[in-house]
Amino acid sequence: MRWTTVKRWVPLLAWIILIFSVSSVPIIDMEGVGLPEGFDKIAHYFEYLILALFFHHGLSGRTVRRRLPVELLVLAACLAVAAVDEVHQGYVPGRDPSIFDFAADTAGILTGIIIGVRMIRTAEGSIEGA
């Protein structure tokens, strides 16, 4: 495996480690922090938007023909990470799995896929126009 291939996946792996590290921390008293209600859903949205972009970036470097579109692979893998993370939080003191968090994760994943597709199309268009 070439180093350039490995480098494509490092951000994704680091991000997944960060997601599970943060979700392993027991909940602290959020009232004293002063964040607006629902802020955690916004955090979930952007957390999984970034995950989808990193995953899309890792897969987009492959030149071999795939049986499934990149977007479907990104969706399935990111939804799996989100589901495992929610189940994992059920075992962390002070945390609970939440369908609403999963919904915010899903919205972020879908947005990340759309942005990833547009970035690829823009890059392909600039290469063809050069």
130 residues of the chain, pLDDT tens digit each: 677 778 889 999 999 999 999 999 987 665 666 678 888 899 999 999 999 999 988 887 655 455 668 899 999 999 999 999 999 999 999 889 999 999 999 999 999 999 988 887 777 666 665 5
CA nearest neighbour of 102 among 90, 115, 85, 119: 85
Q: Left if phi > 0, otherwise alpha if psi is -120 to 50, otherwise beta: which for 34?
A: left
pTM tops 0.75, yes or no: yes
Under DSSP, the state recorded for 103 is H
Torsion of CA 84, 86, 92, 96, to 10 degrees: -160
Between CA 77 and CA 52 the distance in angstroms is 9
Parse the chain into domains and list their residue ranges: 3-24+37-129
> Contact at 8 Å (CB) between 109 and 48?
yes
